[in-house]
Amino acid sequence: MEERVVLSNKGVGNILQFLTDVKYLLKGKVLVANVLPVFTAYWLSLYFAGERFRDHISLFLLTMIGSTLVISGALIINNWYEVDLDRKMVRTQKRPTVTGHFSMRAVLWAGIMTTILGLVTMLATTLEATVYSLLGWFVYVVLYTFWSKRKYTLNTVIGSISGAFTPLIGWAAVQPADHIVPIVLFAILFIWQVPHTMAVAIKRFDDYQAASVPMLPVVAGMDTAIRQNLLYIICLLPIPFFLFHLFGPILVIVSSLLTVGWIFLAAKGFSTKNLEKWAQMNLIYSLNYLVWLSFTMILLTV
pLDDT in tens, 163-193: 999 999 999 999 999 999 999 999 999 999 9
Please indicate, yes or no, if residue 116 is contained in any of the structural domains: yes
Q: Which residue in 99, 21, 83 sits closest to 211, CA to CA?
A: 83
Say how many Å lie between the first and final Cα of the chain, rounded: 56
Domain limits for position 141:
28-299
Please indicate, yes or no, if residue 17 is contained in any of the structural domains: no
CA distances from 300 to 42, 44, 257, 261 (A): 14, 10, 17, 22
CATH number assigned to the domain comprising residue 229? 1.10.600
pLDDT at 216 over 70: yes
Please indicate, yes or no, if residue 13 is contained in any of the structural domains: no
Please indicate, yes or no, if residue 6 is contained in any of the structural domains: no
Q: How confident is the model at residue 2 (pLDDT cuts 50, 70, 90)?
A: low
pTM: 0.94
Please indicate, yes or no, if residue 180 is contained in any of the structural domains: yes
Please indicate, yes or no, if residue 9 is contained in any of the structural domains: no
The tally of domains found in the chain comes to 1
CA distance 268 to 226: 9
Q: Which residue in 283, 63, 261 sits closest to 167, CA to CA?
A: 63
pLDDT for the residue numbered 243: 96
Angle CA 34–36–37, to nearest 5:
80
pLDDT for 111-169, tens place per residue?
A: 999 999 999 999 999 999 999 999 999 999 999 999 999 999 999 999 999 999 999 99
Task: Tell me what the pLDDT averaged over the chain comes to.
Answer: 94
Please indicate, yes or no, if residue 7 is contained in any of the structural domains: no
pLDDT at 15 over 80: yes
Please indicate, yes or no, if residue 15 is contained in any of the structural domains: no
For residues 93-117, average pLDDT: 96
